[in-house]
Structure formats: C-alpha cells, structure tokens
Amino acid sequence: HPDIQDFIECKMKEEAKAHALVSVGYDGSHPDSDAYSSIFFQNANNSVRVTDDFMYAVVRDTDFSTRSVTDHSVVKTYKAKELLHKISEATWHCGDPGMQYDTTVNRWHTSKNTARINASNPCSEYMFLDDSACNLASLNLLKFAPNGTFDVEAYRHAVDVLITAQEILVDNAGYPTQAIMANSHDYRPLGLGYANLGALLMAAGLPYDSDAGRDYAACVTAIMCGEAYLQSSRIAEQCDALVPATEPTKKNLAENNLGSNVMPGGACPGWYINREPFLDVIRMHRASVNGINKGNVPTSLFEASKQCWDEALSHGEKHGYRNSQVTVLAPTGTIGFMMDCDTTGIEPDLALIKYKKLVGGGMIKIVNNTVPTALFKLGYTHEQAGAIVSYIDATGTIEGAPHVKDDHLAVFDCSFKPAKGTRSIHYTGHLRMMAAAQPFISGAISKTVNLPENATIEDISDAYLQAWKLGLKAVAIYRDGCKKSQPLSAAGTKTAS
C-alpha cells in the first residue's frame, strides 16, 4: 500500500506526544489518563501484513515497491530491509505495529476456492474470509491436570461439548449485516482455544523455553484441534439431511430474508466448493504431528494427538466438516482472570509476583498460585515449598530462594526479569513456543513476545524475521517499559506514572 510508511509511524508519533505530555506533568498511568486520552490511534492494534516476496527481499537485501491501489502501478521503491527497520523502530517505541505473514496465512486456508484471507480481528487470532464472524471459547488447561497427570479423555470430551455448543450458537446468534450472517451460515467458523498453558507446563515441572515444554504444548494443541475437526465431522454426519429449524433460527433467518422453514444439514455449504483445499489443510495438520518428539511427552498425549488427526481426516473424507475453522488461540486476558488462570492464552507468566494498574487508580497484586504445585512435582517437601513461596512473596523472584536447585530455576522463568533477579525467557523462546502450536491451529495465535527494556531495534527485526521463518501467521512484540501506560509490571520494577 502506498501509505505504508505513514501507517507504520502513526502510533509511534502519537506515543511521543504522550511521553511529552507526561514529562510536563500530565497523568499517563493508564489508557484513559489525560495524556493517552488526548492522542490518536490508541483503540486499535496495528499490524503490517507482508508476503513471502517481501520477506525474501529482506533476506536478500533487495528492493520492494509499493503500488497504487487502483491500477497497481509502482508508487515508491524502498529497500525491503529499510522498511522492516522502520516497522521494528516503531515497535521499539510503542509496541505497534505487529506483523502478519500473508502467504503463510493463505497456505493454511481451508476455503481457498471461495476467496483469499485478507485480514484478521484486532488481536490477530481470527483470520478468515471478509465479512465473516467467529464465536470464541477457551478451556482452562490446568483443570485437566489437577494432580500433574493430563486427563486426555476428559479433555477430548470437553472439546466435543464446546464445539457442539459453539456450532449451535451459529444459528442462534445475531449478526450486524446480511453478508456476515450469510457467510456465518455458509462457513460456520468456530474459535475454540485455551488458557493457562504457562501454568500447565510449570505444574508439570517443564520449562516454558524447552524442547519438552514445546512438545507437550504441541500435543495439547494438536489434540484440541484434531478432536474439534473430528467432532465437526461427526456433527456433519448427524445433520446429513435438512432438518426443521428451531424457532429462534426461523425468526433470525426470516428477519434477514434467508428463509424460515429449514436450515442446511450436513457439512457447511462452503465445504462442497472447497473439498480439496480443505482436505489438503487437514493433511498438513496431520503431518505436523510427525514433528513432535514423542520421547518428550507422555505416551497417552502423543498417541491421542495422532489418533485425533487420523480420525479427523478419515471421517472428514466421508462426511465433510460442519465448520470451516475450529480453533484459534485468543489472548484470554479478561476471561483468564474469570477462570482463575495464572497465565493467559499461550503465554508464560509475566512474573511470579506482578502488579496490575486499575482504571481510575489503584493497583492489585497478582500472585502465581501454580508455584507450590510445581515445587511438589519437582520433589520438594511441604516445608521446603513453604519457605520458597515465602521468599518469592517477599522478593518477587525465586532466584536465591532456600532449597531451590539451579537446574529447576528454568521451570519458573517468566517473560519479565524481576527487579531482584537475572532470569527471563528469551524472545526466541516465545517464538519457538508459538511455532510448536501454530501447525495445530485453524486460525492464528494472539500472543505478545516480550522483550526486555534494553532490547534493540535490531533484536525486534530479528524476532520478526525468525517468526516468519518459523511459520507463524502473526506476531506482536512488546518492549518492557516502552509505553507510559503499561498495565502490568513485575514486582519491584519501576512503573511509569
């Protein structure tokens, strides 16, 4: 797009205004403060969408041209590396823009014969056709491992129940336009996801940034998505004939001039014109299971991930699928709190002890409650665990705590380095975890890759490049402290005001 440079810089320039206002005494402690409420672009998450051609131009240090929207003639030619540097510089200053990798997104698109995917929701996890909608739901992963052993059968059953419930919602929901309603009925996309992955891994005694942690997460994600497509295909089989519509659906369809006597059964209408690309994507998901190191995970987890995808493919070849998409990984920021999760979405914990600013003033202390479970899993006694937890509560870090073995410290690593500690998860650890999960997600992953305050623009450029190479569909980056209104901070760190 010819306006790309203005788009890249727009929030960075506004952030500079906020910093200037704060420096002369205006309140900038939260998004609704005087400083931030007086600048533009604060209610949007900006992302630059790039193709493989652009990324190859970056790697080869060649030119890349913007083109007119109307006739596609060249408007301006840049060095691709310079454009990526501008993106990274803006991200360094204010956390925006993130990046989306268009070619990867469309490679994994089940409905290619209908149209390409052009955009996403603001958090970048739902990516599908224009004028479409998706209802989201998330599972609290830690609920399936209360004693440290993951209950695969309970997990698969929960996926079945939620996919069925979300499928029912498609015909009982209201839609803002007729086009969105039509696409929702033709393609019936769903967005099942999870929260508390970071806490699940900690409870299992696995470092977030480890091969074992990534393989465990890959299995959990693979089972969710494979089982979701399998259940979608079962529903398609059961609904293989036209069935009477429910009263709410009759009313909804009639109000939008889409008929009121019947609703389509069987696979979603979009399946029939997209059968081959759809099945190709299912086979890509299934093949990705081979990339999991089964030696790093419990046998039941690995075997279930294979079984889910084998059954999802074989059943879908016979009956199709009721839903064009079934899974995304959303941020789960608010619902994570409601579900009593220690960590949100696919994220590790930000810090073992952290403080959240409240709109209107004040602050709450958030304590990671998974630490004792992890300590018991690692073999510590109740007395030892009590002493360690007391130390964390007092200092904000596990480093230097009594009884803790050095080779266990990685299990408790978080996104931000605590004020009285030295350890944190490197940004490549975030990216590799996303890469472990992405092959088993219909949509994308809304996740913030956290970098320390002293990270450079070049670090951010490298993170964006590595994200593309690892096959991610989208990525967002946040450098600690770059915004004056940062809502979460590690215990003991300075917070802007």
Q: Catalytic site residues?
A: 121, 123, 125
Residue 76 dihedral angles phi and psi, to the nearest 5°: -150, 145
Question: What is the C-alpha to C-alpha distance for residues 481 and 409, in angstroms, rounded to an integer?
Answer: 25
Instruction: Evaluate whether 348 touches 198 at the Cβ level (below 8 Å).
Output: yes
Question: What is the C-alpha to C-alpha distance for residues 391 and 374, in angstroms, rounded to an integer?
Answer: 16
Question: What is the C-alpha to C-alpha distance for residues 422 and 418, in angstroms, rounded to an integer?
Answer: 7
Question: DSSP secondary structure string, 230-261?
Answer: HHHHHHHHHT-S-EEPPHHHHHHHHHTTS-SS
Question: What is the C-alpha to C-alpha distance for residues 351 and 396, in angstroms, rounded to an integer?
Answer: 8
Nearest-10 Cα torsion for 20, 24, 25, 29: 20
Sign of CA dihedral 299, 305, 306, 308: positive
Strand partners, 357: 363
Both tokens of 121, joined, read 């929701």
Closest CA to 235 of 132, 158, 306, 315: 315
